[in-house]
Amino acid sequence: TALVERKINLLPFRELKEKGLFTIKHLSGSHSEVLLCRLHEVCWAVTSEVTNLRSKVSCSAIVTLGELLVTLKKDMDSEVDEVARVLLQMVSSSPEFVQKAASQTLGIMVQNVTPARAMTALMDM
């Protein structure tokens, strides 16, 4: 995961960020244990790209969050506050296709984390 984090955090190139996000998405489905040991750092890296000015990178990060939520389910409970915050921010201030992706991922969040955590995260915003 250190290599993936470096790709996302240190390299300013859109293509490398998208590749890093794709790698995280792939790892969540095939080797989630690799991500679980550094879940907070991985989620921080992904959520920081949700607000990227390049809408393609932003959308890729939103989709990656959705994949993390689907595959890691309740293991994502500890990250729900930040995930909900950035997704709600994107729903209210982004192009329509990014709003749609953020809204869908919020729905995925509600379906996959502990209901009480989802409700608390959404109500505290």
Query: Which sequence spans correspond to the domains of the chain?
Result: 2-123
Taking only the tens place, the pLDDT of each residue in 39-79 is 999 999 999 999 998 899 999 999 999 999 999 999 999 99
Q: Which of 83, 71, 6, 80 is nearest to 35 (CA)?
A: 71
Distance CA 101, CA 13 (A): 22
- Please tell me the pTM assigned to this model: 0.87
The third-level CATH classification (topology) of the domain covering 2-123 is: Leucine-rich Repeat Variant (1.25.10)
